[in-house]
Structure 1
Amino acid sequence: METEYTGKLIKIFIEGSDKYGHELLYKSIIEVLEKCEVSGATVIRGIEGFGEEKKIHEDFLEVLSRNLPIVIEVAVKNEKVDEVIEKLSKMITSGKIVIVDNVKMISFE
């Protein structure tokens, strides 16, 4: 059986070395998202990219430093979007990008 509902796909672009307090930012974001009971979240480590400083990061050069680009994709039902954005906005510093797209979500049960 499948269930359809509308929601948002939130994409958060950060760097692997970004911190929130003493924790890696992407780990802190995942913990917050889990507590918000979102539909799902995935952390994707990029193999190459650049951030606000326009410095190219490549996996074969930075395996030890772990400062590769990271994208966190979050599927959120419409009724949870404001709560999630409010909590994440306190964690993500300037120079980072967050994209929010309208999506149709399908749950297979």
Structure 2
Amino acid sequence: MMLEGPARRLTIVVGENDTWHGRPLYTEIVHRAHAAGLAGASVFRGIEGFGASNHIHTTRILSLSEDLPVAVVIVDRAEPVHRFVDEVAPLVQEGLITLADVEVVRYVGRGNRGAGGEQ
């Protein structure tokens, strides 16, 4: 897939323990993004944070939390991202969903490289 220039970034922040029908919610979101044909999705695990509940979650040993924040980040053209938001927004019972305009400078996968990793 070619992706360059103006795009939209979707960020969904949920709890690590949030689930959808028995599987992690972030996993459900990534698999739905893949099925929707979006350019890509990545999940980032937070080491500390708080949100609307105002409860601090942290990895520090003296304050062990079992529900750290995770962010699912998806970048693609605006139209497919907006369609996807409509699909996944009902899954997020607690969390944050944001959209931002971004500029894609480079989007290259392993299958797009020449011999020796050259472009």
Q: Secondary structure at the match of 2:28?
A: helix
TM-superposed CA distance for 1:40, in Å, is: 1.4
In the alignment, what sits opposite 2:116?
Answer: none
Higher strand share: 1
Gaps of 5+ in 2: 113-119
TM-score by length of 1: 0.84
1:6 aligns with 2:29: no
Aligned: 1:97 with 2:96: yes
Equivalent residues of 1:5, 1:77 under 8 A apart: no
1:74-89 matched pairs, under 5 angstroms = 74-89=74-89
Partner of 2:45: 45
**Residues in 1 aligned to 2:68 and 2:53: alpha-carbon distance in whole angstroms:** 13
**Identity of counterpart residues, as a percentage?**
22
**Number of positions where the alignment pairs a residue of Structure 1 with one of Structure 2:** 105
Structure 1 residue runs of 5 or longer lacking an equivalent are none
| TM-score under structure 2 length normalisation | 0.78
SS of the residue corresponding to residue 7 of structure 1 reads: strand
Q: 1:19: how far off?
A: 1.1
Q: Does 1 or 2 have the higher relative contact order (CA < 8 Å, sep 6+)? A: 1
Q: Highest CA radius of gyration, 1 or 2?
A: 2
Q: CA deviation at 1:33?
A: 0.6
Higher helix share: 2
How far off its partner does 1:4 sit?
Answer: 2.3
RMSD in angstroms over aligned alpha carbons? 1.9
In the aligned structure 1, how far is the partner of 2:21 from the partner of 2:91? 9
